[in-house]
Structure 1
Amino acid sequence: MIITIGGLPGTGTTTIAKLISEKYNLNHVCAGFIFRDMAKEMGMGLQEFSKYAEENPNIDHEIDRKQVELAKEGNIVLEGRLATWMLKKNSVEPTISIWLRAPSMVRCERISERECEDINTALNKMINRENSEKKRYKELYDIDIDDLSIYDIIINSSAWNIEGVFSIIDMAIANKSK
């Protein structure tokens, strides 16, 4: 089974991906964690590393290569904004692909709480990060991250609590036609 889950920062992808991986005994690979680890290795914060990645396409290419390689082994939840795109571009079809969404301020509040930052700082960082990623994805892969047509399920994660979002996804996985 190969499950992809994506969404903008603060939509709950990591929380849901962990729940899916636990329930279905799947490996969980998060592109964001790989990106953060790379930033840490270079002694940079996320914003600084995002700007660095704009000038160094090998960063994104390496993350995406790793995701595709791991997905080919199967039994995985791949979490990342480009996970579904990368698999499809490499002729790997996910069992099910999910996109989580939520209004900007809901996402900002979640990020602010998670990162222990004030709302304005979190909002500024979130906007800068999203703009950087959108630019990189378009330039590197000609992908419009706002095009959600490739996903099987799109869920507004602000409309339900964590258990509700997971329940919808769990039902979809269980009832996905083979």
Structure 2
Amino acid sequence: MATTESATSDPEIETTLFITVSGPPGCGATTLCERLADAIGCPYVSGGDIFRELAEDREMSLNQLTAKADESDGIDRALDQRLQQIAEKWGMANKPFILESRLAGWLAGDRADLRIWLDAPEDVRLERIEDRMETEAEMRVREVSEAGRYQSYYDIDIDDREFYDLNINTARWGKEGVFELVRTAIEEYEPAIDEGAFRTPNVDL
């Protein structure tokens, strides 16, 4: 499984929060998760890495696996069920953890303590993925395809972001600036004065 375990022995951030990070390709989610995991000293799981592992196992490109997923709901449901199981496990652990995927906030639901959505203008995101194996065309195909499947399988509108606690345009700050915004949200969080998060709609897998 695609799990990253931080080796930090003296964490910068003291917390027990279960954090989800979501956003489209090139939004900066991986960069933030790696930085957060190191600062908190906690593991994180990336849905994107799991999807890439599925592609490698099948000797397929991301675009090919996306096309295969369009033909049947089996690949998506297996991936999402695994992510939901991980969310259930860590939601009861009272230990810090980071779950990153497009649907992480939905799949974790009310188990998550802090739900983050990252985004950036399309031209910025395209520039960020220039050095990846995924092409511009593949990125656009994947975004449209995934959105359609989420709506079809789970009645999820990926553009519904009401329940996210933080919505950050990562084009407005540098990598460290985005990290500092999230750090502040984590460190300033006080359960005693928390009047309640927006409820996440249930996802029936």
The answer to whether TM tops 0.5 is: yes
TM-score scaled by structure 1? 0.91
Residue 6 in structure 1 maps to residue 27 in structure 2: no
Greater mean deviation of Cα atoms: 51-60 or 163-172: 51-60
Q: CA deviation at 1:71?
A: 2.2
Percentage of pairs with the same residue = 38
In our comparison, the structure showing a higher alpha carbon Rg is 2
Q: Which has the higher helix share?
A: 1
Does the aligned pair in 2 maintain the 1:7–1:100 contact within 8 Å? yes
Residue 106 in structure 1 maps to residue 124 in structure 2: yes
Q: CA deviation at 1:20?
A: 1.1
| Equivalent residue, structure 2, for 1:139 | 152
Residue 152 in structure 1 maps to residue 165 in structure 2: yes
Cα distance in structure 1, aligned partners of 2:49 and 2:79: 10
> Residues 29-84 of structure 1, C-alpha deviation per residue, up to 9 Å, x if partnerless?
00000001001111110111011111221211121122122223323200001011
Structure 1 residue runs of 5 or longer lacking an equivalent are none
Cα distance in structure 2, aligned partners of 1:59 and 1:2: 26
TM-score scaled by structure 2? 0.79
2:54 is matched by which residue type in structure 1? Answer: M
Cα distance in structure 2, aligned partners of 1:58 and 1:114: 26
Runs of 4+ in 1 over 6 A off after TM superposition: none
Does the aligned pair in 2 maintain the 1:47–1:125 contact within 8 Å? yes
Instruction: Compute the RMSD of aligned alpha carbons.
Output: 1.3
> Residues 138-173 of structure 1, C-alpha deviation per residue, up to 9 Å, x if partnerless?
111111111111200000001011000000001001
Structure 2 residue runs of 5 or longer lacking an equivalent are 1-16, 91-95, 192-205
Cα distance in structure 2, aligned partners of 1:30 and 1:13: 9
Q: CA deviation at 1:28?
A: 0.8
How many corresponding residue pairs?
A: 170
Greater mean deviation of Cα atoms: 105-114 or 30-39: 105-114
